[in-house]
Copies of this chain bind each other. A is one copy, B any other.
Amino acid sequence: MKLTKLLPAAAALTALPAMGFAQEAGVDAASDTIFIFNSLLFLIGGFLVFWMAAGFAMLEAGLVRTKNVAMQLTKNVALFSLAAIFYYLIGYNLMYPLGTWSVDGVLSGVWGVGVLEAVGVARDGADDYGYAATASDFFFQLMFCATTASIVSGTLAERIKLWPFLAFTVVLTAVIYPLQASWKWGGGFLDAAGFLDFAGSTVVHSVGGWAALAGLLVLGPRIGKYKDGRVNPIPGSNLTLATLGTFILWLGWFGFNGASQLAMGTVGDVADVSRIFANTNTAAAGGAIAAMIMTQLLYKKVDLTMVLNGALAGLVSITAEPLTPTLGAATIIGAIGGILVVITVPLLDKLKLDDVVGAIPVHLVCGIWGTIAVVFTNGDASLGTQLYSIVVVGIFTFVVSLVVWFILKALVGIRVSEEDEINGLDKAELGMEAYPEFSKG
């Protein structure tokens, strides 16, 4: 995603060569068209990224044990809903603090017109004529905030309490995500420094990963995962769901990366969106195939979970720069992501970091990799600035998250009792089962 508020005017201008007065109506029609195309891109991109919320829910429900499935589903529906509300109440105005944020603004946001333009807004009344409808932009940006929150839930599955987890989600989506996102996408200091992160390998994915890592350190591993110096694999209960989730995420990513072009009303913009679609797809393919070959070589057997995470790793890796690579370069960037995941998953286990779904390898490690990889295909990128930004965003997110997790732990506790964990969160916290009729093997 480029800088939201500054780009559109430029985009509109390039599409409108000097025209005489006699053609003013034509000019308006043309820039109406650009406005509509850009808004439409946000709407399509937005519903595709919305769909990723379902993808995370299915992926995570497939990778936990049956006794925790209903809880994992509950968390995913609730975190998306909270993100929608708190990003609207606080986050959006915090992220784009162009003189609009104020207590008044938030309050009027709740009960008044809020961030949306007037109904049936006229050309002259549009907030950003030449760019896009404000509500379409808001809708799209909201989905990125929610995605960040989705990343956290998988890592901490199977032992975190519901309400403290949701409390963290509120802080993450209302404050942590929007604040650091404003540094890049809100025109802040990282943007000024030349940091390049097209659709958020760092701003979204690594931030989700850092927040998850902080939570993991406070929360500790699941009972029985590391015992007597050995790592006991805990297989996911439903690999069709995990595969479905991966396909959903892959689909949603076309919106995630593609609509981060933020414009499609000119020949150049729609051609760029098209490049991004093609590159995003091939990076995922590269990640899946690389992970498949790696597991065959290392373990003599293909590991489906790794193939799925390989595809996701490819997607995260290409997210910082899905536009400038060639198809070949995109495939390789994705493939390296897939390899990184296969290498990192056992490393985490050595550190006794029990990441249930592999979100840290996929979103944090490959988020960093993808951000660095920008320098290989985009001449405007500087390795120093990329690394500096990764570190700044990482330290901020990790430290603030750690503090929030500690506060939650001190105030209400974040981990269920040992008995509840063994019996499963579904019975203990929800009093229901995801699959009540299927007997357990």
On A, residues with C-beta under 8 Å from B are: 15, 17, 19, 22-23, 25-26, 28-30, 32-33, 35-37, 39-40, 42-44, 46-48, 50-51, 53-54, 57-58, 61-62, 65-66, 69-70, 73-74, 76-78, 80-82, 84-85, 88, 109-117, 119-123, 126, 129, 133-136, 138-139, 142, 162, 235-241, 243-244, 246-248, 250-251, 254, 258, 264-275, 277-279, 281-282, 284-286, 288-289, 292, 299, 301-305, 307-308, 311, 323-324, 326-329, 331, 429-441
Q: B274, A235: Cβ atoms under 8 Å?
A: no
CA distance A170 to B56 in the complex (A): 30
Q: How far is the CA of A3 from the CA of B402 in the complex (A)?
A: 54
Instruction: Kindly list chain B residues whose C-beta atoms are within 8 Å of the C-beta of A277.
Output: 43, 46-47, 135-136, 139
Say how many copies of this protein the assembly contains. Answer: 3
Q: A120 CA to B15 CA in the complex, in Å?
A: 12
19 extra A-B contacts, CB within 8 A, seeds A74-B307, A136-B274 = A26-B26, A32-B266, A32-B267, A36-B267, A50-B251, A51-B251, A74-B302, A77-B288, A81-B285, A84-B282, A84-B284, A116-B327, A119-B324, A129-B267, A237-B436, A238-B435, A303-B431, A303-B432, A438-B441
Q: Which residue of B lies closest to A73 (CB)?
A: B243
Q: Given that A238-B435, A268-B122, A277-B43 are contacting pairs, would A53 and B22 also be in contact in the complex, using a CB cutoff of 8 Å?
A: no
Q: Across the interface, which residues of B come within 8 angstroms of A329, CB to CB?
A: 111
Query: Which of A22, A47, A271 is packed against the most chain B CB atoms within 10 Å?
Result: A271
Partner among B239, B273, B324 whose Cβ is within 8 Å of the Cβ of A432 = B239
Chain B residue at minimal CB-CB distance from A284: B81
Q: Which residues of B contact A271 (CB under 8 A)?
A: 39, 117, 120-121, 126, 133-136
Give the nearest-CB partner of A122 in chain B: B268
Whole-angstrom distance from the CB of A339 to the nearest CB of chain B? 14
B116 and A326 within 8 A (CB): yes
CB-defined A-B contacts under 8 Å, sample of 10: A26-B30, A36-B37, A36-B270, A50-B281, A66-B437, A88-B327, A111-B328, A117-B275, A235-B436, A437-B440
**Distance from A385 Cβ to chain B, minimum over Cβ atoms (Å):** 20
Give CA–CA (A135, B109) in the complex, Å: 40
| Interface contact A25-B29, CB-CB below 8 Å | no
Question: Considering the chains assembled together, what is the distance between the CA atoms of A404 and B294 in angstroms?
Answer: 26
Which of B82, B237, B305 has a CB less than 8 Å from the CB of A289? B82
* Distance (whole angstroms) from the CB of A398 to the closest CB of chain B: 28
Q: Within the assembled complex, what's the spacing in Å between the Cα atoms of A250 and B274? A: 24
| Given A15-B32, A78-B292, A117-B271, residue A247 in contact with residue B301 (CB < 8 A) | no
Indicate if the CB atoms of A237 and B437 lie closer than 8 Å. yes
Write out the residue numbers on chain B whose beta carbons fall within 8 Å of the beta carbon of A47: 48, 251, 254, 277
Rounded to whole Å, the gap between the CB of A322 and the closest CB of chain B is 11
- A39 and B37 CA atoms in complex are apart in Å by 12
- Most chain B CB inside 10 Å of its own CB: which residue of A272, A284, A299, A308: A272
Question: CB < 8 Å: which of B113, B247, B251 contacts A57?
Answer: B247
By a CB distance below 8 angstroms, the chain B residues around A76 are 243
- Chain B residues with CB below 8 A from A264, complex form: 36, 40
Residue numbers in B under 8 Å from A120 (CB-CB): 268-269, 271-272
Once the chains are docked, how many angstroms separate the CA of A74 from the CA of B305? 9
Q: A26-B25, A109-B327, A117-B275 are in contact. Are A270 and B136 (CB under 8 A)?
A: yes
Contacts known (A65-B437, A267-B32); A116 close to B278, Cβ less than 8 A: yes
